[in-house]
Amino acid sequence: MRAAGAVLWRTGPDGGDGIEVAVVHRPRYDDWSLPKGKLDPGETVPAAAAREVAEETGFSCVLGPRLSRCHYQVQTGSGAVADKAVTYFSARARDGVFQPNEEVDTLRWLAPPAARALLDYAGEIEALDELSRLGTDLTTVLLVRHAKAGKREHWRGDDDLRPLTPAGNQQADALRTLLPLFGPDRVHSAPRLRCVQTVQPIADDMDVSVTHEPLLSEEGYWSDPDAGLARLRALAADAGTPVVSSQGKVIPHLVRTLAEHDGVPLDDVPSKKGSVWLLSFRRPAIEPVSTDGIPRLVAASYLPPPAAAATSDTE
């Protein structure tokens, strides 16, 4: 059984550096928790997190880094015991008004220490602690591997012009729904048709152009990996949430190198077509200031291709 939730936060009422987080009371369980709930059939984990926030608090939100994942056992309606996994994201509150409902009768906006003291579950305290560790003033780069475009050996034209297959277009459509949950504000891509096509629908929806990034193509990156890494850090140096579309022979090395250099532990670095890495950076102006003035990776998590877009089409 899979579920998702979020630490929903907003700037404190004094307008300073402090934040408040939302804690909800559920009368059915008489507990205080973070907004969370089970995935609907075919729903992605991020979409479920944003939906549950809206349903339980009345607020829309912009998702940020994945904070934690906890596992525990629950009793089902039939009396059987099932494993449950809940993934928590950081979520910045946007517009909304809380209205009591059947699931939640009270919402409290509290400073993190007060929220921590009120929460009833260790897994949710862990998510809140991770938000406090990371902070909220981050740039999250949405690093996308291009969607399915068939096999290189089956394409007779210029490989730069190899387009998405029908399955790839389905994946691009799924990303068009998934990525806006994280509030992207600009779109970049390796100058390959399949890379650009993967993120073009998102750029169209945002009414922005796709900026080409030659250093993040296979040829450009491997001719000078340090320059490619520096370019990604440069994209993270500004506030906001850039989308960056790249290739399978670039992303694993780039992510692994960033993580090793900046001390972010990663067990594995998968990169399936249509997948996304959430790479969250702390900018130099934010404490602790980096000695060389460049943004530092503080969190990295992998989003597999949306299941609704999975097909048997060739890679």
What tens digit of pLDDT does each residue of 76-96 get? Answer: 767 777 788 999 999 999 999
Q: Which of 80, 113, 134 lies at the terminal end of a domain, its last residue?
A: 134
Would you place residue 308 in the very low, low, confident or very high pLDDT band (cuts 50, 70, 90)? Answer: very low
Question: What pLDDT does residue 314 have?
Answer: 43
Question: What pLDDT does residue 311 have?
Answer: 45
* Residue 107 is assigned to a structural domain of this protein: yes
Beta strands in the chain (DSSP E): 2-11, 19-26, 31-33, 36-38, 59-75, 81-96, 106-110, 138-145, 186-189, 210-212, 242-246, 276-282, 296-303
* Residue 315 is assigned to a structural domain of this protein: no
- Asked whether residue 138 carries a pLDDT value surpassing 70, the answer given is yes
Kindly state the average pLDDT of the residues 235-243: 92
Same domain, 100 and 143: no
Kindly state the average pLDDT of the residues 220-235: 97
* Residue 239 is assigned to a structural domain of this protein: yes
d(Cα 159, Cα 223) in Å, to the nearest integer? 18
The parent domain of residue 151 ranges over: 138-309
Kindly state the average pLDDT of the residues 195-210: 98
Same domain, 148 and 293: yes
* Residue 34 is assigned to a structural domain of this protein: yes
Query: Cβ contacts of residue 224 below 8 Å, gap of 6+?
Result: 215
Would you place residue 29 in the very low, low, confident or very high pLDDT band (cuts 50, 70, 90)? Answer: very high
Same domain, 225 and 270: yes
Same domain, 83 and 155: no
Question: What pLDDT does residue 313 have?
Answer: 41
Q: List the CATH number of the domain containing 190.
A: 3.40.50.1240
Same domain, 111 and 142: no
Same domain, 143 and 130: no
State how many domains the chain has. Answer: 2
Q: Quick check: helix, strand or coil at residue 70?
A: strand
Q: How many helices (H) and strands (E) does the chain have?
A: 8, 13
Same domain, 220 and 96: no
d(Cα 113, Cα 131) in Å, to the nearest integer? 12
Q: Which of 134, 159, 191 lies at the terminal end of a domain, its last residue?
A: 134
Kindly state the average pLDDT of the residues 166-190: 97
Same domain, 252 and 271: yes
Same domain, 9 and 121: yes
Same domain, 62 and 178: no
**Tokens, residue 192:** 């390959």
Same domain, 122 and 69: yes
Query: Would the pTM of this model clear 0.75, i.e. be above it?
Result: yes
